[in-house]
A and B are shown apart, each in its own frame.
Chain A
């Protein structure tokens, strides 16, 4: 069964303290791994798409990387406005719909 597991469930950082979020997956025929950001009371907002192992994407303080079994979202020198839940999703299987993980809730304190 296709599955996405994110860790940790919650992460508290001080402003400027870099860290990484993990997304491990099992899927038959990966057709893309995606990162989204979700603010409280809002819908998820698209961040990145990664298609193959070794690929990296960057946006401001965020960098996403992909291996054959997992993806990392690295946050460099985070700011309080980076506080949100970060969702990882994969596309695979016969129908190709997105399968989401539970997310990592990131809190960045000033």
Chain B
């Protein structure tokens, strides 16, 4: 049974479109994250939610909007897609805020977004 699952795994779309990526965790964790891994392989945090509340909102364009309907789900909606949005987006979860106690984040397998 997959701990952190994301869908879709691959997404190819045209510039200007709107798309969503869904994430679900069955670990009972309180905190969920969205990370972006660009072509240079840097993994950078975008958002963090603790118990459905936004904790971290790094400097990302407001075209990106996270939504957490409950603490097991954190979806990412992207409006007006641009070429530079092409990347792999990872969802993750941790038992506590920021993985404070152990630093252990559980990552999904990633969603590769390609904007043409």
Q: Which of A43, A96, A97 contacts B90 (CB 8 A)?
A: A43
B108 to chain A, nearest CB (A): 5
Interface residues of A, CB < 8 Å — how many?
20
Size class of B's contact patch?
20 to 34
- What CA separation (Å) do A85 and B43 show in the bound complex? 12
B88 to chain A, nearest CB (A): 9
Determine if B44 and A100 form an interchain contact, defined as CB atoms under 8 angstroms apart: yes
Residues of A52-76 whose CB lies within 8 A of B = none
Binds A, one of B11-19, B74-82, B92-100: B92-100
Determine if B103 and A32 form an interchain contact, defined as CB atoms under 8 angstroms apart: yes
Residues of B bordering A, CB below 8 Å? 4, 40-45, 48, 55-56, 58, 90, 92, 97-100, 102-110
Residues of A bordering B, CB below 8 Å? 32, 34, 41-46, 49, 85, 87, 89, 91, 95-98, 100, 102-103
